[in-house]
Structure 1
Amino acid sequence: MRVVIAEDNVLLSAGLELLLGSKGIEVSAVVPDASGLADAVATHRPDLVIVDVRLPPSFRDEGIKAAVALRQADPALPVLVLSQYVERLYARELLADGSGGVGYLLKDRVSRVSQFIEDLRRVAAGGTVMDAEVISQLMIGRRSGLDMLTGREREVLALMAQGLSNTEIGQRLTVTDNAVHKHIGNIFAKLGLPPSDGGHRRVLAVLTFLDNERPPSPA
């Protein structure tokens, strides 16, 4: 797997390069700003792009704006946003095309190397990985429909939004696959969404609901 990194923090970018190299992942280029990212992607055609939200010159939203632009130009390009911040507007826009291959992780919550590498590979393979705090931020102000979910259904929804499979959710919550399947069916029914067993597609369906609030169906 070949990766391009956009990160202005030299220590962090160097650390990422060493870490990925030790796991057999080739870092094709490391760039410190958004303008260099587009050129690096065009030159190296990576399997995955890792980008910080805030890059020079203004350190506001250049990184994630560049990620959105890359996805608009090539929806099949896997992109992982790795940041200290949750940019809600651009996070939704990044997810809007529904084609998968998207991740959004917070730097200070990436603590396990093995899980981080697994997340990278999941995104590169077309899956979706979302930090729980990102999901929480996306839910703010969008309670319609979600209020009908039980506490356990909310837990399952959050884990679905992080890209976990039914089996992984069952292991995390210590319940059977059948119980998870039932919870997911209830979630889709209450949110008025068609059930789907397709990995990242169901994640994106939930996030699309959160981005396009609909009133609950009449009783």
Structure 2
Amino acid sequence: YTKAIASFDLAIELEPGFSLSWYNRGVAFQEMRRYDEALESYDQALALDPFNTNALINRGIVLRALGRYDEAMESYQLALEMSPHSAEIWNNMGVVYSDLGFVEEEIAAYEMAISLDPMFAAAWDNKGMAFASQGRNDEAIAAFDRALAIDPDDEVVRWRRDTLKQQLALREMVVRWAVIAGVVVVGYVGVRVWKRRSNPGS
């Protein structure tokens, strides 16, 4: 990406008002996880072309990576005003809701994404993780199954689903032992630490 950035810098030097060069520069910095520089580039691109939805989406991803969740949500909401039927934006908003701990809003955002694009595997996966974090394990497994039906080669989703199934089987075994031993088992099986997946602009 270093050579690509050098090319974009040259293009900007020759024509500083060309928004696409700033946008592409932002994408390159984002891929390198140099988020402050990516944000600066996206802001420049948007100053020149305020209707660049992909720049707003990627700006939201970068702001989230920087821990600036409210600003990330504002960026997504602006993008949504321009592309109200974008499943990707709703999915990314769900990821920010997850960061903020608003699980019901998170799930609602994924459901909106899925209603707009039922074949959106990442939204099904994220929805499964949200359900798992709440101990809604049957719903989580069903969501993971839907994601795998769409993308059978996604080994990460398969691992998540199988891990949850193994945990449930282990809990069932513990409960059976507890019944025999006369012990009360409390709590639920659920995984809280899985990271949700955002989708960048094209």
- TM-score normalised by length of structure 2: 0.32
Name whichever structure is richer in strand by fraction: 1
User: Higher helix fraction: Structure 1 or Structure 2?
Assistant: 2
